[in-house]
Structures are given as structure tokens and as C-alpha cells.
Amino acid sequence: MRVILLGSGERPGVLEGAERLRPEIARHAQIVASDFTGQQDLSAVEADLAIVLGGDGSILRAAHQMGACQRPVLAVNLGRLGFLADLAPEELPAVLEDIAATGLAGRVVEHLMFDCRVMRGQKVLAEQLGLNEVAVQTGPSFAMIDLDLYIDSELVTTYSCDGLILSTPVGSTAHGLSAGGPILRKDLQAFVISPISPHTLTNRPVVDSADRVYELVIAKAGSGAAVVVDGRVACAVVPQDRVRVKKAAVRFKMVAVPGHSYYRTLREKLGWGGRLQLGNGGC
């Protein structure tokens, strides 16, 4: 089995963890490439599996590096929260041994990715593949931004807000969650539209099919407005610029590990402790 070893080398403990785990990985697989800088183009590397060490940010970076040639990702959590990277380092040897013995068939779960294109007239300002979300946000002078939302070329509404987030199910537990958006099961084929601090209180998050084309037209914005894809600034925008988002042809692929279910992850990562326990004075 040919594997790529990836991680965010600038994060504390990642390089040390990689050195500690490398001999165990090499026992079960051939390491054909490794990159802890995020700079290497992985689209042409022949590999069966990408082992990502770190947190969810490392997974996002790996997905961007692989581009149109996505490989199954086995994520080992060396970060903090880790919605995607929920495999503990001590669990990796047994998982690798199992994969080496029986293969990846039936273990890989595919997730929605998107293509984002920013247009000014007929000119393409930016074009990116993403996994988590597209956000159109204000900047200095931090005035509200007005955004016209079109779905399949039909005007839906105009948002006056601090920004707008269009997220995938994978991204629903990221920026969109902090903006009050819903949590979607990761393998759903849908997008969530979540306004950030909308001026109209009746504006609420909307969930719609991933088979539609979403377009945000900048109706009014200050000088610092920008489009952000998966936490990275794609480009600055001005009034009349258009942000078009649609389902990508490629899918992000995660290796499912027995015992690490979706709802177990939510319980553990979000602190869903169940029933409130009251003391003797409770009523």
C-alpha cells in the first residue's frame, strides 16, 4: 500500500508525532511522499492513501493539495477539537494493520466538495476547490454588506449582514456552526446558507440541495470585503462582483474507522453530556 504522509509542520507536536509514528506506518505501507509545509503539489503522486497528522486544518490543506486527484484520507488527531481528525495516535497501528490485511474496500466515505468562482464582469478573479465553506465577509471599515442570493438563477433574497457563509455538511461544524447554522450529517448532499449577524431577524439559515447553483452578487460593500474559502482569502470584492458556487466533480474521501461514528464524534467534541445531573438541592 502506497501512502502520503502529511501534516502542518508549524503546529506544535506534529513533526514529533510524525517521527514517532513513521516506523509503524512503514511496517504496513510504503511512504511514497511526505510534506509538512503544505507547498507540495500532490495531484501527480501515485498513492492509495493519505495519512494526515494534526487537526481539521491539516485535513483541509491536504484536500487542497490533492486538488482534482483526491485520495482516501486517514486522519490522526494531533490537534485540539478534531471533528474530521478523530483517530488517536495510539489507535493508528491497529487500524493500519487491519487496512493492510483487508484493503480499503467498503471503508471509504465520500463527502461533498465545491467549486467556487469569483467573477467581475467576464473576468475570473479567483477559482478554487473547497471542502468546508465559502464566506463573503466585511473588512475595514466593517460596515454591513448587502448580498443578493440567487439559486439556479432565481433571486431568493437580499441579505444585509456582516457576511454570509455557504457551507457543506463537512463545514457545518466549522464557521457556520459559530454563526448559528445547523449541523448536517457529513455524507449529505446539501449546502447551508448562514448569514452572519443579519440586520433582519427573520433571516435564518437555509438548507438546500447540492445539485443547485448558488450565486452571491455583491450589492453594497465597504473597501475591505473579501471572499474566503476554507479559511483562506481568495480575493477582495467590490459591488457587482459575483461569487458562484456549485458541487464539484470530485469528492473528498475519508476512511471510516470502526467505533468512530458520526454521533459519537458530536457527543465527545461538542460536550453533549446527556441529562443534566442535579445536586441534592435540585428540584
Catalytic residue IDs: 56
Nearest to 254 by CA among 76, 44, 8, 34: 76
Q: Report d(CA 7, CA 277) in Å as an integer.
A: 40
Q: What is the DSSP pairing of strand 114-120 with strand 145-151? A: unpaired
Cis preceding linkage at 141, omega within 30: yes
Cα angle: 100, vertex 43, 174; to 5 degrees: 80
- Residue 144 CA, distance from chain mean position: 26
CB atoms within 10 A of CB 15: 16
Rounded to whole angstroms, the Cα distance separating 224 from 199 reads: 19
